[in-house]
Amino acid sequence: MPSAPLRSVALVTLGCARNEVDSEELAGTLAARGWSLTAAEDADVVVVNTCGFIESAKKDSIDTLLAAAEDGRRVVAVGCLAERYGDQLAGALPEADAILGFDSYATIDERLDDVLAGRPIAPHHPTDRRTLLPLSPAKRPAATSEVAIPGHAWGPTSGRKRLDDSPVAYLKLASGCDRRCTFCAIPSFRGAFVSRSPDEVLAEARWLGESGVRELVLVSENSTSYGKDLGDLRALESLLPRLVTVPGIERIRVSYLQPAELRPSLLDVIGNTAGIAPYFDLSFQHASAPVLRRMKRFGSTESFLELLARARELAPTAGARSNVIVGFPGETEADVEELERFLQAARLDVVGVFGYSDEEGTEAALFAEKLDPAVVAERVARVSALADELVSQRAEDRLGDIVDVLVEVQEDDCWSGRGAHQAPETDGNVALIGDTATLRRGQFVSAVVVSNEGADLVAEVLPGSVR
């Protein structure tokens, strides 16, 4: 009897690093259940892992779905936009054959079978996941289980399948968020904060190390909350030294740190532990205390500068980046000037500047004192110009520094990579010059910074430093 033809699927990932991990978990599930992974133009069905965080990301997701549906291809939407808007998105986007929420991840192969067979699938109906209580740690599935917690991806460690051969991989610490920032809708569709167990994180790190990964980037909605639901507020401080012992892994990077929760003990571990990048991805969002309070966040220019000073006292060449929101309801000219004062003093390596826009379902969307869009746009342009100038100045401060670079990209016989102060995709890179003929992707090399262009550096390889 002839075997059934192999079904093929393409995964297109948009949005943040957490989505990339979700896509690799979906790929692992599908590969284990008889699906082949291929390019979109060759696939029986295209799965688009969407982003639904801000307006531009939503538009990008919809445009990608429409493009994937060209030529009559079957298209399925998953991810945050699908979870957040579900049946509403299905009504507005008949080109998509299915709109699936997070609860469908554990049975994604069955849902794709339905799509190919032409069986109708009721679109996901969104629910405010803040009302769903997560399972207690004792009742969560083990690392070898295929049971899914609604709103969270908990596939087996062996079930994740890498979708590229990069020497860098993201490793998810947790899913969800318990904070209630007035501008952010993420908790409503990602649910409560749920940490993975340290043993599960370590098992996946070992698998990634065996797969050729040299740098791990730890991600979650709020990494400083890791372990609080496990009854251990210092779980991350305990986990990081264990991760640096994983064979094959040379560098660990922690992302998405909440300034108000960055404990001195965690600051010390990140700044003082060999193998942990002295890198602080700090979610400041603003620096004016009145604006921060309306955002339901904590801090001020002085407290943020003190935090950065403590980090640099531990690691003088530490990297620091942040995003800020300009034009929040009620923001005054004095508030903008305070933000500018902070940025001038902070010496951040990268600053992302975003203009405020209402997100439905958030508290801030109901605020009065909305600013005219033209005012918001003017402030974004103004703060962005300042940020670009300051980031370039900060890069110039690194002239003469020795940076530890992970070699990643070769173009026209020129190699580039990232220093310890640079995260993937967001923070610039290091172009390598000098003795580069024997360099290979995935190696680490020491190099001295000789010039810069914006946040990007040029550095000369030190002889004998390749490892």
Distance CA(149)–CA(144), nearest Å, equals 14
Amino acid 143: pLDDT: 43
Q: Which amino acid is present at 151?
A: G
φ/ψ of residue 100, rounded to 5: -115, 135
Q: Which parts of 159-211 are beta strand (E)?
A: 168-172, 174-175, 194-195
User: What CA–CA distances, in Å, run from 92 to 85, 89, 99?
Assistant: 10, 5, 11
- In a 13 Å sphere around the CA of 380, the CA atoms on its Cβ side amount to 17
Q: How many CB atoms sit inside 10 A of residue 46's CB?
A: 26
**Beta pairing partners, 446:** 404
Q: Please, are residues 65 and 76 in contact by the beta-carbon 8 Å criterion?
A: no
Residue 163's contacts (CB-CB under 8 Å, 6 or more residues apart) are 11, 13, 20, 23, 24, 27, 37
Amino acid 44: pLDDT: 93
Q: Which amino acid is present at 463?
A: P
User: What CA–CA distances, in Å, run from 35 to 7, 156, 450?
Assistant: 5, 17, 49
CA dihedral over 49, 409, 215, 224, signed as positive or negative: negative
Distance CA(129)–CA(428), nearest Å, equals 35
Distance CA(432)–CA(434), nearest Å, equals 7
According to DSSP, the β-strands at 350-355 and 319-326 are: parallel
Amino acid 266: pLDDT: 97
User: Which residue reads 């943020």 in tokens?
Assistant: 304
Amino acid 155: pLDDT: 40
Residue 60's contacts (CB-CB under 8 Å, 6 or more residues apart) are 14, 51
User: Which residue reads 């220093």 in tokens?
Assistant: 419
Amino acid 147: pLDDT: 33
Amino acid 11: pLDDT: 95
pLDDT in tens, the chain (467 residues): 444 567 999 999 998 888 999 999 999 999 999 999 999 889 999 999 999 877 788 888 999 899 888 878 899 999 999 998 988 888 888 999 999 999 999 999 999 999 999 999 988 888 877 766 565 565 555 543 333 433 444 443 447 999 999 999 999 999 999 999 999 988 888 889 999 999 999 999 999 999 999 999 999 999 999 999 999 999 999 999 999 999 999 999 999 999 999 999 999 999 999 999 999 999 999 999 999 999 999 999 999 999 999 999 999 999 999 999 999 999 999 999 999 999 999 999 999 999 999 998 899 999 999 999 999 999 999 999 999 999 999 999 999 999 999 999 999 889 999 999 999 988 999 999 998 999 999 999 999 999 999 999 999 999 999 99
Cross-sheet strand order for the sheet of 279-281: 279-281, 319-326, 350-355
Q: Please, are residues 301 and 286 in contact by the beta-carbon 8 Å criterion?
A: no
Amino acid 3: pLDDT: 46
User: Alpha helix (H) ranges present in 273-423?
Assistant: 289-294, 301-314, 333-346, 373-397
| DSSP codes, 270-310 | HHH-TTB--EEEB--B---HHHHHHTT----HHHHHHHHHH
Residue 446: exposure state from Cβ atoms within 10 A (0-12, 13-18, ≥19): middle
**Model-wide pTM > 0.85:** yes
Amino acid 432: pLDDT: 97
Q: Please, are residues 294 and 330 in contact by the beta-carbon 8 Å criterion?
A: yes
Distance CA(202)–CA(198), nearest Å, equals 6
Q: Please, are residues 98 and 115 in contact by the beta-carbon 8 Å criterion?
A: yes
